């Protein structure tokens, strides 16, 4: 492996190589699509990477996107294309009426421009099987941190931009930020020393854009208190990124052990929620939403907090989330779904077809338990787990509203519908609860409560474990 520092005596390059080791090793040997706006940051990044291309073994292509927000933008795009002609690289040019698209979508120009630009870069990267490189620096990181702080985006937002990431809206394309540890002032000085052609975008001075307000008003005010504020924010984001990686690892372990996640569906065990730190549960819920629904965009800190509080509330409580997503607390789980609720996850046991009928493709087995259970242990979440029955006589069937049983702990009969209604179980769940019966008598309302007449009274009584599974599995 070539020692990069031995080949670059320039002080800026030495600083760049020292602060960007992770990114440079990541891009080594790859094709790159460099996003070139024409500003000092992107021109400097192109110049530096071009000088290092043989050492790093990289192939560089350049991509410029014209947002058509200024009359002179087309001419400036032509200037960039002419400048790039002197280098042995491919040049891609894209354009769109961003202002018109933003108006039609009822979105901000900033957000629309960002989407169109990144989609274009991702398309170029796919064409060349390349990574995308952009020139975000310490100043951009500080602006992003403060912007997200104002928005209340939580830990993810305060981590700022990552050195190695995915292209926004294009998770299949990787993105690298080699300048993220470099000061903007050093970049501009590098451009002056090397007489690089820099295109100044007057829109960067406009206070009509939120980021520009932070750049020209907020950061200068903070610098009056501490000249090193940009550097300190960059250090803070780096520390938070390390802590986020640790928390993410713990959250993934939690989900693997205590949840069911499918397309448009999440089920999380309540016992695990109640016995785990709040920060871990919030992080796990965020990751679960991303896995189940393709993205966690649209779910802010207040939505995650609402889910957490729902899990700790009364059974039957529910909330609505963005995108037509609903969440409900049932006795054993927190359920989050969109569209048709899959009945299997209500019990963490796949029992039902989509139409709510018991599937003929499901079978079940009964295993005698050798464990000795004390009567006082049959409480809380154990109410539906231990039952005395005749293995040869029990059968599984859908519940009928008129079915009656004596719920454990009660003295009188209740209909299944009354029992579930008392617990504020929604109709879309009540209609599909199965029962296990023996000699025409309900012994277990599956997932909810056994019949009091079939409870274990003594620790020496035999009991069974019932497992449901798909035939052939």
Break the chain into its structural domains and give their ranges.
4-225, 241-339, 362-470
| Span 78-92, pLDDT tens digits | 999 999 999 989 999
- pLDDT for 376 beyond 50: no
Taking CA atoms, 268 is separated from 121, 284, 286, 310, in Å, by 38, 10, 12, 12
Assigned token pair, 194: 């090397």
- Binned at pLDDT 50, 70 and 90, residue 309 comes out as very high
E-strand stretches of 76-169: 90-95, 131-133, 164-167
With a cut of 70, say whether residue 469 has pLDDT above it. Answer: no
Distance CA 299, CA 290 (A): 9
* Top-confidence residue, 358 or 126: 126
Q: Within 301-415, where are the H helices?
A: 301-311
- What topology is assigned to 362-470 in CATH? Phenylalanyl-tRNA Synthetase; Chain B, domain 3 (3.50.40)
Q: What is the pLDDT of residue 168?
A: 92
Cα torsion 286, 289, 291, 295: sign: negative
Query: Out of 60-74, 308-322, 371-385, 424-438, which region has the weakest mean confidence (pLDDT)?
Result: 371-385
Q: For 418-441, what is each residue's pLDDT tens digit?
A: 888 887 766 666 666 778 888 888
More confident residue, 259 or 469: 259
- Look at residue 55 in the predicted model and tell me its pLDDT: 93
The contacts of residue 410 (CB under 8 Å, 6+ apart) are: 452
Which residues have CB under 8 Å from 463's CB, separation 6+? 368, 369, 373, 386, 387, 388, 456
Percentage of the chain exceeding pLDDT 90: 48
Which CATH number applies to 4-225? 3.40.50.620
Look at the chain and count its residues: 473
DSSP code, position 461:
S
DSSP-based helix, strand, coil % in the chain, nearest 5: 45, 20, 35
Q: What is the DSSP letter of 341?
A: P
Q: Taking residues 372-388, what's their average pLDDT?
A: 42
pLDDT band at 367 (very low <50, low <70, confident <90, very high): very low
- Comparing 374 with 269, the larger pLDDT belongs to 269
Which band of pLDDT confidence, cut at 50, 70 and 90, is reported for residue 95? Answer: very high
Put residue 330 in one of left, alpha, beta given phi > 0 → left and psi -120 to 50 → alpha.
beta
pLDDT on residue 174:
97
- For 111, 236, 327, the CA distances from 154, given in Å and listed in that order, are 20, 14, 21
pLDDT classification of 374: cutoffs 50, 70, 90: very low
Q: How far apart are CA 74 and CA 77, in angstroms?
A: 5
pLDDT tens figures, 44-56: 999 999 999 999 9
Return the closest-CA partner of residue 134 out of 115, 153, 121, 152.
Answer: 121
What is the average pLDDT across 301-327? 88
Cα–Cα distance for residue pair 127/440, rounded to 1 Å: 66
- Residue 384 pLDDT: 40
For 283, the token pair is 């992080």
Please list the alpha-helical segments (H only) found in 259-382: 270-274, 278-293, 301-311
Q: Is 34 exposed, middle or buried (0-12, 13-18, 19+ CB in 10 A)?
A: buried
Q: CA-to-CA distance for 332 and 193, rounded, in angstroms?
A: 66
- Which three-class secondary structure state does DSSP give residue 451? strand
List the structure tokens of 215.
């750049």
Tokens of 117: 């630009």
pLDDT of 388 reads: 65
Assign 21 to helix, strand or coil.
helix
5-9, 31-35, 128-132, 231-235: least confidently modelled range:
5-9
Indicate if the pLDDT at residue 111 is higher than 80: yes
pLDDT of residue 212: 87
CATH of 241-339, one of 3.20.20.140, 3.40.50.10470, 1.10.150.20, 3.30.465.60: 3.30.465.60
Residues 43, 466: Cα–Cα separation, whole Å = 67
| Distance in angstroms (rounded) separating the CA atoms of residues 141 and 147 | 10
Range in 129-138, 204-213, 281-290 the model is least confident about: 204-213
- Phi, psi at residue 377, to the nearest 5°? -80, -15
pLDDT at 375: 36
Are 230 and 142 spatial neighbours (Cβ–Cβ below 8 Å)? yes
Top-ranked range on mean pLDDT: pick from 18-27, 153-162, 351-360, 415-424: 18-27
pTM of the model: 0.68
Mean of pLDDT over the chain = 82
Residues 284 and 254 sit within 8 Å (Cβ to Cβ): yes
Residue partners of 213: CB distance under 8 A and separation at least 6: 207
Measure the CA–CA gap between 366 and 384, rounded to whole angstroms: 15
Work out the angle at residue 342's Cα, subtended by the Cα atoms of residues 337 and 347, and round it to the nearest 5 degrees: 100
- Asked if 451 and 441 touch (Cβ cutoff 8 Å), the reply is yes
Confidence of residue 33 (pLDDT cuts 50, 70, 90): very high
């Amino acid at each position: 492996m070539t020692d990069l520092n031995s080949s670059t005596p320039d002080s800026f390059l030495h600083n760049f190589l020292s602060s960007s080791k992770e990114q440079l090793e990541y891009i080594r040997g790859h094709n790159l699509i460099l996003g070139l706006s024409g500003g000092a940051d992107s021109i400097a990044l192109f110049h530096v990477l071009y000088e290092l291309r043989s050492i790093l073994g990289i192939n560089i292509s350049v991509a410029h996107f014209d947002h058509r927000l200024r009359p002179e933008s087309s001419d400036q795009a032509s200037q960039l294309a002419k400048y790039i002609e002197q280098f042995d690289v491919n040049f891609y040019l894209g354009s769109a009426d961003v202002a018109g698209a933003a108006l039609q979508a009822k979105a901000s120009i900033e957000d629309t421009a960002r989407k169109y630009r990144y989609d274009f870069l991702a398309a170029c990267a796919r064409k060349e099987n390349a990574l995308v490189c952009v020139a975000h620096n310490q100043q951009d990181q500080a602006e992003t941190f403060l912007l997200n702080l104002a928005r209340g985006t939580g830990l993810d937002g305060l981590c700022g931009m990552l050195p190695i990431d995915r292209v926004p809206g294009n998770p299949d394309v990787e993105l690298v930020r080699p300048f993220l540890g470099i000061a903007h002032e050093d970049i501009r000085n590098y451009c002056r020393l090397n007489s690089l052609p820099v295109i100044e975008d007057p829109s960067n001075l406009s206070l009509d854009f939120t980021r520009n307000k932070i750049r020209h008003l907020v950061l200068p005010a903070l610098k009056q208190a501490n000249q090193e504020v940009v550097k300190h924010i960059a250090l803070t984001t780096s520390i938070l990124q390390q802590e986020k990686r640790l928390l993410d690892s713990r959250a993934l372990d939690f989900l693997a052990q205590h949840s069911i996640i499918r397309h448009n569906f999440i089920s999380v065990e309540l016992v695990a929620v109640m016995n785990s730190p709040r920060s871990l549960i919030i992080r796990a819920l965020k990751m679960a939403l991303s896995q189940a629904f393709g993205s966690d965009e649209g779910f802010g800190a207040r939505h995650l907090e609402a889910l957490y509080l729902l899990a700790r509330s009364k059974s039957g409580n529910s909330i609505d989330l963005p995108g037509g997503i609903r969440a409900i607390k049932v006795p054993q789980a927190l359920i989050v779904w969109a569209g048709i609720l899959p009945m299997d996850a209500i019990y963490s046991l796949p029992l039902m077809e989509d139409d709510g009928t018991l599937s003929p493709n499901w079978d079940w087995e009964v295993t005698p338990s050798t464990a000795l259970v004390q009567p006082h242990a049959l409480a809380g979440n154990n109410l539906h787990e231990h039952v005395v029955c005749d293995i040869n006589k029990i059968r599984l069937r859908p519940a009928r509203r008129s079915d009656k049983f004596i719920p454990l702990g009660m003295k009188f009969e209740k209909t299944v519908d009354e029992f579930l209604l008392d617990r504020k179980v929604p109709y879309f769940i009540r209609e599909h609860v199965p029962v296990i019966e023996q000699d025409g008598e309900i012994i277990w309302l599956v997932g909810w409560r056994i019949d009091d007449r079939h409870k274990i009274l003594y620790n020496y009584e035999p009991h069974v474990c019932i497992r449901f599974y798909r035939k052939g599995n």
